[in-house]
Amino acid sequence: MDDYIAVYIYDVKRAIEEVESYSVGYPMRYDVFEKDYLRRSAVERKVEIMGEAINRILKIQRDFPLPNAKAVIDTRNRIIHGYDSVKPEFLWSLVIRHIPELKKDVERIIAEYGISPETIGQ
C-alpha cells in the first residue's frame, strides 16, 4: 500500500474516533444534539477531514477498495460548499448511521493491510 494512503486512512480513523468521543458522557438523543451548536460544528469539521482524506486516497488510487468513498467525498463537499443547507438532522444521520458504517470499512482496511501508527511513522 502507498505510504500516503496509509496515512490518510489513519486520518479517517482518528476523525471517526474523535466523533465517537463527542458522545462519551453525552446523551445520544437528537433533541439534545440539535441544540448543541458546538458539537454539531465539531462533527462537521471531522466529516470534512474524512472526506478530504478519502479524496486524496482516490487521487492516488482511483479503485481503492473503500465502499461509499464517493458518498463521503460528496458529503464533505456538501458541508463545505453548501454549508447553508446542512441541517442538524443530516449531521445526526451521519453520527448515528453513516460514520459507524465507515468505521467498519476503515477497520477492515487497517487490519487487511496491517496499518498502525508505527507503520506510518506516527
What is the distance between the terminal CA atoms of the chain, rounded to a whole angstrom? 17
pLDDT at 122 over 80: no
Burial class (CB in 10 A: 0-12, 13-18, 19+), 16: buried
Domain assignment of residue 122, yes or no: no
Q: Average pLDDT of 78-94?
A: 95
CB of 64 within 8 A of CB of 4? no
Print the domain residue range for 41.
Answer: 3-113
Domain assignment of residue 118, yes or no: no
Q: Average pLDDT of 42-68?
A: 97
If pLDDT is split at 50, 70 and 90, which confidence band does 116 have?
confident
pLDDT tens-digit readout, 5-54: 999 999 999 999 999 999 999 999 999 999 999 999 999 999 999 999 99
Domain assignment of residue 120, yes or no: no
Domain assignment of residue 121, yes or no: no
Angle between helices 99-113 and 3-21 (to 10 degrees): 140
Count the domains in the chain. Answer: 1
